[in-house]
């Protein structure tokens, strides 16, 4: 077997601190929410220079919350790169929206802007979540 990364070695210098914090959380009995999560959220919000931050269990949860926040209507379409991670598609479907997959530019592997234009429909153009992006200039 070829080792990808030796996480034990990478984290060696932090192991005492990890063990201390883990024991503190374990003794506190709060594995979800709790004081440590609140402290992390506040510290991270301060670090980012924002008023609020919420910790979630996964990137999928973060995507779902973001999509719900913007108030899309059921059946609205979301344009995404065809080579995206599956969580992007799962989040879109979970909130009742339709993913529209756009192939990447073969040279960059980023979403191809020319192909995006071909996919714009009434179900995905000019959504009110980003009105400043859609102003006529």
Domain map (residue ranges) of the chain: 7-48, 59-125
Q: How confident is the model at residue 137 (pLDDT cuts 50, 70, 90)?
A: very low
- pTM over 0.85? The answer is no
Give the C-alpha separation, 125 to 32, whole Å.
38
Which pLDDT does position 120 carry in this prediction?
82
Give the C-alpha separation, 88 to 137, whole Å.
31
Which pLDDT does position 126 carry in this prediction?
58
pLDDT (tens digit per residue) in 70-118: 888 898 999 999 999 999 999 999 999 999 999 999 999 999 988 888 8
Which pLDDT does position 135 carry in this prediction?
44
Among 63, 132, 58, residue whose Cα is nearest residue 97: 63
pLDDT (tens digit per residue) in 13-64: 999 999 998 998 888 888 788 888 899 999 999 999 999 999 998 999 999 9
Q: What is the DSSP letter of 31?
A: S
User: Which residue matches tokens 């992007």?
Assistant: 88
């Amino acid at each position: 077997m070829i080792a990808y990364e030796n996480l034990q070695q990478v984290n060696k210098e932090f192991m005492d601190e990890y063990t201390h914090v883990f024991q503190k959380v374990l003794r506190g009995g709060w594995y979800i929410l709790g004081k440590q999560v609140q402290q992390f959220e506040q510290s991270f919000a301060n670090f980012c220079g924002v008023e609020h931050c919420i910790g979630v269990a996964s990137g999928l949860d973060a995507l779902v919350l973001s999509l719900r926040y913007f108030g899309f209507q059921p059946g609205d379409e979301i344009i995404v790169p065809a080579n995206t991670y599956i969580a992007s598609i799962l989040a879109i479907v979970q909130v009742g929206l339709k993913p529209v997959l756009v192939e990447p530019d073969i040279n960059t592997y980023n979403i191809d802007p020319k192909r995006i234009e071909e996919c714009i429909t009434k179900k995905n153009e000019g959504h009110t979540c980003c009105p400043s992006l859609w102003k006529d200039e």
